[in-house]
Amino acid sequence: MKLLYTLLLMGPAAAPADGAAQQPSAWPTILMFGAIILVMWLFMIRPQRKQQKEMQEFRNSLKKGDKVVTVGGIYGEIVEVNEKTVLIRVDGDVKLRVDKQGLVKDYSDAEQK
């Protein structure tokens, strides 16, 4: 907070002797906008991109026999994998074809523990 206060009050230290007004410096404002953009990138954009990358890797690595959960909360086991869709067995002979983008979680390992 002290840094913010110092940056906001930076500017000309004193008025010129002849009484002419001097323009305030734009650097504190530029630094504040830069700091805000940096903080947003570090805490919002970067983690979101990392999460999207992990989800895409998960969807690309799906294989027959994996147990997954859909966005709607349907649990099933993968029977067939295509380029954009997956066929999952929900219960007995009940099978659903869902888009890969609709799969959010693999619970194969969690069930074995």
**pLDDT tens digits for range 38-74:** 999 999 999 999 999 999 999 999 999 999 999 999 9
Residue 2 confidence (pLDDT) above 90: no
| 3-state SS, residue 98 | strand
Identify the domain containing residue 50 by its residue range. 1-61
Residue 79 confidence (pLDDT) above 80: yes
If asked whether residues 33 and 71 sit together in one domain, one would say no
**pLDDT tens digits for range 17-45:** 555 567 888 899 999 999 999 999 999 99
If asked whether residues 33 and 49 sit together in one domain, one would say yes
Residue 101 confidence (pLDDT): 93
If asked whether residues 81 and 49 sit together in one domain, one would say no
pTM of structure:
0.62
If asked whether residues 74 and 108 sit together in one domain, one would say yes
If asked whether residues 29 and 83 sit together in one domain, one would say no
If asked whether residues 67 and 57 sit together in one domain, one would say no
Q: What is the overall mean pLDDT for the chain?
A: 84
